[in-house]
Chain A
Amino acid sequence: MSVPPNYIQTSKSRGSFFNNPANRALIYQFLLLMGLGYFFYIIISNTMSNMEARGIKSGISFLGETAGFDILMSLIPYDSTHTYGKTFIVGLLNTLLVSVIGIFLATIIGFIMGVAHFSRNWLISKSSTVFIETFRNIPLLLQVFFWYFAVLSSLPSARQSLSIGEAFFLNVRGLYLPHLAGDEGSVVVYGAVFIAITSIIALHRFAKIQQEKTGKQLPVLRLSLAILIVLPLFATLIMGTPFHWELPVLKGFNYQGGTTIIPELIALSLALSIYTGAFIAEAVRAGVQSVPHGQTEAARSIGMNEKQIMKLIIVPQAMRVISPLLNSEYQSLVKNSTLATAIGYPDLFTVFVGTTLNQTGQAIEIVFMTMAVYFAINMFISVLMNLFDKKVSLITR
């Protein structure tokens, strides 16, 4: 057996050291590391000396100090004797609140408007286009201002409130809703709701297994609705309606009792959900358009009706396009919720980067903590949406 001649050169005979790409890459990276290290060294040493010169403290010990300022709205008990650390939590909860409201409403608005684009009704399809193109192309901050300064501040005062049936009141100070307060025994009803939800999930699993085994479809939607309504209703009746309504009542200059939604929250969630809703509508439009027309024709030719075509052919395929877009829209909604600071809604940004920073002067810690929070929220959304994405994405071999 003859040994083949060695055509492939070994690395020893490769010529000069610098002509080896691996060596060059090492050198470049080394230089990059040096440059970066020098850059950070300069920045950190400058910052240290600047902070010393200005007498700014460092570290996060300020979180334990008394804040001494009030916050307009708080989901947990808070007053000015609490700490800066507590202001962080209050702000964070308010940010989460407005983000959840915004994402919820924006999704509804977006899907309705996106589907309306394909309506066979000319008026509706054109209205959806006008809606999308108007709100997508106007700066969000302007929309926040418009709702806050032009619409909500022109509402009547408390005594002339707009009202629906003496239960809902809308005036310049906010929206007043009746509050459903639970009495003794309401826990049972909450428990019933929980059981209803878990059994619906179990039902879905069961129905899927049944369909795969026998090919028979259970009326899942109707059954779930029935469970969701009957079980809590039954519990309510057994416990003798353990609820009562707390209605807002005009006392002095304003309404007391019930749930109050401050105008800042209304303006911000309206603006966020309409602005993002317009983008989601555009995403939905793109998603539905991405499904080739042949798919609809093929579905029709095997005898599917319009509802089946929508549910089984178009939506699953459109979701593949919509889902990643939805992910980035949700993330930008959370980031845009920082605009709260322009109208004074006490979100994390207003409370923490605004007031707390002003009082303590610890810019670096505060700005980085806030950035980390938004980063974390967005990571969380991203992880959730990626799970969803995996569910709807094309399963290939």
Chain B
Amino acid sequence: MQTFNPLPDKPAPAQTVGITGWLKNNLFSSPLNSLATIVVAAILIKVLPAMIDWLFISANWSGATQDDCTKDGACWVFVSAWSQQFFYGSYPDEEIWRVNLCLAMLVAIITASLRVKKELREKVFIPLFLLLPFISIAILDGSYLGLVQVDTDYWGGFSLNVLLAAASIIVAFPLGFLWALGRRSHMPLARTISIGFIEFFRGVPVLALFFMGSVMLPLFFPEGTNVDKLLRVWIVLVFFMSGYMAEVYRGGFNAIPAGQYEAADSLGLSYWQKTLLIILPQVIKISMPNILATFVMLFKNTTFLLIIGIFEMLSTTQTALSNSHWLGGHAEEGYLFVALVFWVCCFSMSMMASAIERKLNTDHKN
């Protein structure tokens, strides 16, 4: 009896597998594609080695003054010499632990609240989170706690960007929700006021708002009261942010099926029970990616404070660049460093946002 003996499999054509296959598919699939590859590759070959050389190989890494930058490459000494200013502004040396403490608290509360049980989170961590801006102000200022008072003129650097952005969004969280509720309200007056507020703060350049905070807000307070500049900026940022957050929440509200409201109504829940226990948790969950994106925008926009003379990171960089001991044209190094710091923060947050979005996205498109 004849048996069927299959021949051994032939290997795939050499051109379709391995490196050649990949190259042919991805870089040289058509004449036009090959041309594009060659052009892009040529640009990369021309630019990259010079850049790497300037950035790393012939860069100056150690030293303390400008004179230590003897090689042609980047003068990273500039960054290391000014690093404390970049991160903490002119906050006094011996008090820097306070800034670190505030940053650590922020990180600790956020990470802890993601891990602890629901009960504990609702009773302890969320109130703590909402109180954090005020606790941080007390710690940084110090006079309420019997520590040495550090005037807000000395606060600055990257820590100020982070803390100000965090403090603004924490307060804007509940406030934005109120505006969003107002916009959905059946009361015409509440609705009109909310829409007016939201559209005003979204339609006007944030820089104009900062100017409003610094030149107009003092006129609104009773004569003789001197409200701190940073506090005024904070108020403006909170309002600005709550306008944007209200829009984000609106998207969340629209995504919630009407059945949720009807079910809550038929259980006999009151308006606030329905809103806080049924709707709010779902809204926050749905809008999380957009909340993060809005936060990234706010965080980047804190650099605009330079224009009204607040010493955030970019403005300390500008100061360092015009320092008489460092007049060698270190703009590239300084800006690259600031860009890198912001980029790492913003990029990781947008990654987080898209990870959440993917997790929430359960449809089977594509």
Q: A residues within 8 Å of B by Cβ? A: 25, 28-29, 32-33, 36, 43, 46-47, 49-51, 53, 119-124, 127, 133-134, 136-142, 145-146, 149-150, 153-154, 292-293, 331, 334-336, 338-339, 341-342, 349, 353, 357, 363-364, 367, 370-371, 374-375, 378-379
Most B Cβ at <10 Å: residue of A123, A127, A292: A123
In Å, the complex CA distance between A186 and B36 comes to 41
B329 touches A154 (CB 8 A): yes
B26 touches A53 (CB 8 A): no
Select B189's contact among A29, A342, A357, beta carbons within 8 Å: A29
A367 touches B189 (CB 8 A): no
B257 interface contact, C-beta 8 A: no
Select B331's contact among A122, A138, A150, A335, beta carbons within 8 Å: A150
B189 touches A33 (CB 8 A): yes
A349 touches B332 (CB 8 A): no
Taking A29-B190, A33-B189 as given, write out 11 further A-B residue pairs in contact, using a Cβ cutoff of 8 Å, ordered by the A residue number: A32-B190, A46-B223, A50-B218, A121-B27, A122-B27, A124-B36, A137-B300, A145-B335, A367-B208, A367-B216, A374-B204
B33 touches A137 (CB 8 A): no
Q: Binary interface profile of B, 18-33, with partner A (CB < 8 Å = 1, else 0)?
A: 0000000111010001
A46 touches B221 (CB 8 A): yes
In Å, the complex CA distance between A174 and B222 comes to 48
Q: Report the minimum CB–CB distance from B350 to chain A (whole Å).
A: 7
B281 interface contact, C-beta 8 A: no
B220 touches A142 (CB 8 A): no
- Using CB atoms, name the residue of chain A closest to B344: A137
Contacts A29-B189, A367-B215 given: A335-B223 contact, CB under 8 Å?
no
A49: B residues at CB distance < 8 A: 223
In Å, the complex CA distance between A248 and B350 comes to 47
A146: B residues at CB distance < 8 A: 331, 335, 339
B33 touches A121 (CB 8 A): yes
B347: A residues at CB distance < 8 A: 133, 137
A363 touches B27 (CB 8 A): no
A371 touches B307 (CB 8 A): no
A339 touches B190 (CB 8 A): no
A25: B residues at CB distance < 8 A: 186-187
In Å, the complex CA distance between A334 and B207 comes to 12
In Å, the complex CA distance between A293 and B366 comes to 5
A374 touches B189 (CB 8 A): no
Q: B residues within 8 Å of A by Cβ? A: 25-27, 29, 33, 36-37, 40-41, 186-190, 193, 203-208, 211-212, 215-216, 218-223, 296, 300-301, 303-304, 306-307, 314, 318, 321, 329, 331-332, 335, 338-339, 342-343, 346-347, 350, 365-366
Tell me whether chain B's interface is mostly helix, strand or loop, or mixed. Answer: helix
B222: A residues at CB distance < 8 A: 46
Tell me whether chain A's interface is mostly helix, strand or loop, or mixed. Answer: helix
Contacts A29-B189, A339-B207 given: A50-B332 contact, CB under 8 Å?
no
A367 touches B212 (CB 8 A): yes
B223 touches A53 (CB 8 A): yes
- Using CB atoms, name the residue of chain A closest to B222: A46
Q: Report the minimum CB–CB distance from A66 to chain B (whole Å).
A: 23
A33: B residues at CB distance < 8 A: 189
- Using CB atoms, name the residue of chain B closest to A122: B26
Select B207's contact among A43, A150, A349, beta carbons within 8 Å: A349
B303 touches A142 (CB 8 A): yes
In Å, the complex CA distance between A153 and B40 comes to 28
A149 touches B220 (CB 8 A): no
Select A374's contact among B193, B208, B301, beta carbons within 8 Å: B208
Contacts A335-B204, A341-B307, A353-B211 given: A364-B219 contact, CB under 8 Å?
yes
- Using CB atoms, name the residue of chain A closest to B334: A150
B203 touches A145 (CB 8 A): no
Select B41's contact among A53, A123, A134, A335, beta carbons within 8 Å: A123
- Using CB atoms, name the residue of chain B closest to A289: B366
A150: B residues at CB distance < 8 A: 331-332, 335
A43 touches B186 (CB 8 A): no
In Å, the complex CA distance between A149 and B327 comes to 13
Q: Can you sample 5 A-B contacts with CB below 8 Å?
A: A47-B220, A50-B218, A138-B300, A153-B331, A370-B208
Q: Report the minimum CB–CB distance from B271 to chain A (whole Å).
A: 9
Q: Report the minimum CB–CB distance from A109 to chain B (whole Å).
A: 16
Contacts A138-B342, A353-B208 given: A339-B304 contact, CB under 8 Å?
yes
B332: A residues at CB distance < 8 A: 150
Q: Report the minimum CB–CB distance from A354 to chain B (whole Å).
A: 9
CB-CB nearest 7 A-B residue pairs:
A122-B26, A137-B346, A335-B205, A139-B300, A150-B331, A338-B207, A363-B215
A364 touches B40 (CB 8 A): no
